[in-house]
Amino acid sequence: MIRRGFTLIELLVVIGIIAVLAALLFPTFAQAREAARLTTCKSNLRQIGTAVMMYLADNDDMLPPARIRAPRNSWAGLMEPYTKSWQVFHCPNMVEGTFASRSIWQPPLNTVGNLSIWQGYGWNADYLAGAKADCSNFDQQFDLSGPPISTAVIADPSGTVMCTGVSLASGSGSWAGRSGLYPERGGFCLVSAPATVGSADTCPASFGGWGAGSYLGPYGGFEAPRHGGKGVVLFVDGHIKAMTPEQLAAGTNWTPTTPNNQVVITDRTRYLWDLQ
């Protein structure tokens, strides 16, 4: 019996089939991996939401300030005693802030102060930080919030953003890339509401809203670019939802290329950030 090996053409056909299958399957694998990472972010924000509810119970339903003085530096520093772990503040897709090429998530830089600022989830500081629209109670010298506010003043807790995943995006005026602490796709403790520059109902000492020219990038820091088009949002009532930037900017005229000083609220009933 004569044994016959594969011909060159047969081998090329097999290799071609494998290449086609790989081209079809690799995007699916990437999507599955990204879905798993988004699920991790959902779990993180769910735990953060539980921590906020515990904090509220201990503080007469007063929300934490967005920024405070050292050593805890931000609202996240106040939540960490309830989560008992900084890992819930770390998005798996986040580019870690570094100083002198060292990650702030590793010793000796993993201090409470560093992690509370350059972690992966940001507070709705424009509306939940207690600053008056005229900024008269906003401590600009230390870049702090206004006084804490009560959840009782929030008309629709289930429709008001409390916290989202944050990913610094590049763009005109953005902080991304200015130093190792603010890398593109890195985290930050605050997220901008879409329409804040020149708004009559929030202190303009903010981070520039959304759109071209915002300090936090055209998405106001929202993490959607980090997760392939969607990010996770925690609402004041404690529920979480994966949303696109368009969904989160509902009720405004925002687009990524609209100048941030021209983004305005067009439909207050759909706007998800303010107290009304």
The pLDDT of 257-261, averaged and rounded, is 94
In our burial notation (b when 16+ CB lie closer than 10 A, e otherwise), range 102-120 reads: eebbeeebeebbbbbbbbb
Q: Provide the pLDDT for residue 186.
A: 93
pTM: 0.86
Mean pLDDT of 18-43: 68
pLDDT at 24: 61
pLDDT confidence of residue 173: 86
**pLDDT value of position 26:** 52
Mean pLDDT is highest, among 12-16, 50-54, 89-93, 211-215, for 50-54
> Which pLDDT score is estimated for 130?
85
Tens digit of each residue's pLDDT (9 = 90 or more) over 39-78: 899 999 999 999 999 999 999 999 998 988 888 999 999 9
C-beta separation of 223 from 165 below 8 A: yes
Distance in angstroms (rounded) separating the CA atoms of residues 74 and 270: 29
